Chain A
């Protein structure tokens, strides 16, 4: 046999970084183009759409989708779906609301911890049904969608709406950082990002591994800094009405960012995260590699519900109350659409919490824009359906393009 054919050239430094860059870029591109298109359309129909006041409002609205969506990403990565996350979030909102009522008087932090514990328990329960009894996640969580709405209505009682008297809880979505504190926090985050980027890339370069060129590291840091400055300019502009001044970054933005960093870290740097991707990619291969599938899957469902719980608390905080009009069914569809528009696959194995954050902006922009135009509920439902279908179409097209080349 011809050795030359096989062993031809010695291993040369591969053009890896460029290829990866292209793959990453292709994933995020539809979101960016979609956001621009949506912004242009709504701005041309109503020039209040891109006002700083509306943009901040939009981000706070989006934070609910982003948080529940980051939970959904865990489940989607496995190739499963959790339709109950909307009402699981609702349960968290109700638990917090009930526990800070004058008759109960739990401190705000205890109420939040209790709500998150409840949602985590729900996720563990549903995850156990899916993994140990091998029930389809679609059906288990559809039952959850119905059942938890029922529980929510019972907990809210006859009145239907319960206001939240606790100032700290209400401040989560309505309070803002002082403008200077916002700048300081943003600068700190960008500096930390730069430090980690240069350190990681530098270590790879020194140890002779394929590393992105230095210019690319600078590009990433530059983009992060630009995004930070843009965010600060928008949130620190006065968006008050008349003589009433309102400026500063809402607390939910660092909250969403913190959850994003935490879950990115868990999925990217821990063994659990690696196994979530492996199971979504090829569950049989993961099983043969000795991975405890049931344990990883159950934990993913638990973390998904826990994260949705954070979203539910933010939702309650934004409205300063919880009511039976909470529509967890629509929210969960928005959330799936958010994750998929952002680039997470419905077929498992491909996805990232960042996708839910980016897609959350798109979905919130559509919801917000339609409300701004005063469109009827019927039109809004149809528009939502179109968005959901489009996002899945994009997913399938991307998936087909990324199919194995030579197989």
Chain B
């Protein structure tokens, strides 16, 4: 469906695809976000790490249009945007793969990938056309572990389900794919599959924002790392500038230890 080549790889000039400037969000007395500054460039995997309650999920929900920020700006390709709901975010090209994946177990891979955006011919479902597009998307992402796209999702392993959910997200001209703990429930081999897929998304020019607790995974696939603590991004930069020890200290104390 989407021609991967049509995407402009990398960022235009110095401006990243997405930039949050001093974004704040309060829920009553709780200050969930206290001024988040974050850049997500195209063609790279940006990892968002932080302890529970650091504000990672709220940040994602602001980007995805689920929450509206109380203060601050969101710049999309350099322009200020304010998606009011997930649909508007999707129109910009923002897709989120939540931890629960939002797949229908009883539907097959093709039906899931096209759920809510079915292709119709003469008012009827164009099954063969959708199947070819789904197969092409999976092939683009080199997902070869799914034996048949006509298997119900219930019959797939955790890693395959994650792959299907990611493929579903990238099929719609998306420019930014947000992955919420993509490897949390997976075994070793399946984690490898999914991390390879994450790398491939960035190689194809998409911006990837990956939320993860697992620093081993983060250091394996991320190009850039942003550390959150108590509603703020306390450090952000290329992976090379940080090591695991420093990230742990940033997550817990907010300061970079002497190293």
Q: Is the CB of B158 within 8 A of A6?
A: no
CB proximity of B153 to chain A, nearest CB, Å? 8
Q: Is A392 an interface residue (CB 8 A)?
A: no
Q: Which of A243-272 contact B (CB under 8 A)?
A: 269-271
Q: Is B139 an interface residue (CB 8 A)?
A: yes
Contacts of B135 in A (CB 8 A): 11
Q: Is the CB of B144 within 8 A of A7?
A: yes
B: contact size bracket:
35 or more
CB nearest neighbor in B for A14:
B148
Q: How far is the CA of A404 from the CA of B160 in the complex (A)?
A: 12
Q: Is the CB of A277 within 8 A of B104?
A: yes
CB nearest neighbor in A for B157:
A406
Q: Is the CB of B123 within 8 A of A270?
A: yes
The 3 closest A-B pairs by CB, nearest first: A289-B116, A406-B157, A16-B148
Q: Is B103 an interface residue (CB 8 A)?
A: yes
Contacts of B152 in A (CB 8 A): 23
Q: Is A327 an interface residue (CB 8 A)?
A: no
Q: Is the CB of B120 within 8 A of A209?
A: no
CB nearest neighbor in B for A77:
B106
Partner of A19, one of B118, B124, B128, B148: B148
Q: Which of A266-282 contact B (CB under 8 A)?
A: 269-271, 274, 277-278, 280-282
Q: Is the CB of B128 within 8 A of A207?
A: yes
Q: Which of B176-222 contact A (CB under 8 A)?
A: 185, 189-190, 192-193, 195-196, 199, 220
Partner of A15, one of B124, B147, B159: B147
Contact indicator per residue, chain B 82-126, by CB within 8 Å of chain A (1) or not (0): 000011000000000000101111110001000111101001110
Contacts of B86 in A (CB 8 A): 288
Q: Is A158 an interface residue (CB 8 A)?
A: no
Q: Is the CB of B106 within 8 A of A349?
A: yes
Residues of A whose CB lies within 8 Å of any CB of B are 1-3, 5-11, 14-16, 19-20, 23, 203-204, 207, 209-210, 269-271, 274, 277-278, 280-282, 284-286, 288-291, 349-350, 402-407
Q: Is the CB of A11 within 8 A of B128?
A: no
CB proximity of A207 to chain B, nearest CB, Å? 6
Q: Is the CB of A285 within 8 A of B102?
A: yes
CB proximity of A265 to chain B, nearest CB, Å? 9
Q: Is the CB of A6 within 8 A of B115?
A: no
Q: Is B154 an interface residue (CB 8 A)?
A: yes
Q: Is B31 an interface residue (CB 8 A)?
A: no
Partner of B102, one of A7, A16, A282: A282
Q: Is the CB of A15 within 8 A of B148?
A: yes
Q: Is the CB of B102 within 8 A of A288?
A: yes
Q: Knowing A210-B150, A274-B111, say if A11 contacts B104 (CB, 8 Å).
A: no
Contacts of B111 in A (CB 8 A): 274, 277-278
Contacts of A278 in B (CB 8 A): 104, 107, 111, 115
Q: Is the CB of A5 within 8 A of B144?
A: no
Q: Is B255 an interface residue (CB 8 A)?
A: no
- List 19 other contacts, CB 8 Å, given A271-B125, A285-B102: A1-B195, A5-B189, A5-B193, A6-B193, A11-B135, A14-B148, A15-B147, A210-B148, A271-B120, A274-B107, A278-B115, A281-B104, A282-B102, A286-B104, A289-B116, A403-B154, A404-B155, A405-B157, A407-B157
Contacts of A203 in B (CB 8 A): 128
CB nearest neighbor in B for A206:
B128
Partner of A402, one of B117, B120, B154, B156: B154
Contacts of B107 in A (CB 8 A): 274, 277-278, 281
Q: Is the CB of A350 within 8 A of B106?
A: yes
Contact indicator per residue, chain B 158-184, by CB within 8 Å of chain A (1) or not (0): 111100000000000000000000000
Contacts of B142 in A (CB 8 A): 6-7
Q: Is the CB of A281 within 8 A of B106?
A: yes
Q: How far is the CA of A2 from the CA of B199 in the complex (A)?
A: 13
Q: Is the CB of B118 within 8 A of A282?
A: no
Q: Is the CB of A1 within 8 A of B192?
A: yes
Q: Is B151 an interface residue (CB 8 A)?
A: yes
CB proximity of B170 to chain A, nearest CB, Å? 16
Q: Knowing A274-B111, A285-B115, say if A404 contacts B105 (CB, 8 Å).
A: yes
Q: Is the CB of A281 within 8 A of B192?
A: no
Contacts of A349 in B (CB 8 A): 104-106
What are 10 A-B pairs at a CB distance below 8 A? Answer: A6-B192, A7-B142, A11-B135, A209-B131, A209-B132, A269-B124, A271-B125, A278-B107, A288-B86, A405-B157
Q: Is the CB of B116 within 8 A of A291?
A: yes
Contacts of B131 in A (CB 8 A): 209
CB proximity of A73 to chain B, nearest CB, Å? 14
Q: How far is the CA of A197 from the CA of B90 in the complex (A)?
A: 39
Contacts of B160 in A (CB 8 A): 406
Contacts of B190 in A (CB 8 A): 406
Contacts of B118 in A (CB 8 A): 271, 274
Partner of B147, one of A16, A277, A350: A16
Q: How far is the CA of A286 from the CA of B159 in the complex (A)?
A: 21
Best-surrounded residue of B86, B151, B189 (most CB of chain A within 10 A): B151
Contacts of A281 in B (CB 8 A): 104-107
Q: Knowing A3-B196, A207-B128, say if A405 contacts B156 (CB, 8 Å).
A: yes
CB proximity of A76 to chain B, nearest CB, Å? 13
Q: How far is the CA of A402 from the CA of B155 in the complex (A)?
A: 8
Q: Knowing A16-B148, A207-B128, say if A290 contacts B192 (CB, 8 Å).
A: no
Q: How far is the CA of A14 from the CA of B142 in the complex (A)?
A: 15
Contacts of B104 in A (CB 8 A): 277-278, 281-282, 285-286, 349
Q: Knowing A11-B139, A282-B104, A404-B154, say if A2 contacts B192 (CB, 8 Å).
A: yes
Contacts of A3 in B (CB 8 A): 196
Contacts of A407 in B (CB 8 A): 157-158, 161, 185
Q: Is the CB of A406 within 8 A of B158?
A: yes
Contacts of B156 in A (CB 8 A): 404-406
Q: Is the CB of A16 within 8 A of B192?
A: no
CB nearest neighbor in B for A288:
B102
Q: Is the CB of B155 within 8 A of A405?
A: yes
Q: How far is the CA of A182 from the CA of B142 in the complex (A)?
A: 54
Q: Is the CB of B192 within 8 A of A20?
A: no
Contacts of A270 in B (CB 8 A): 123-125
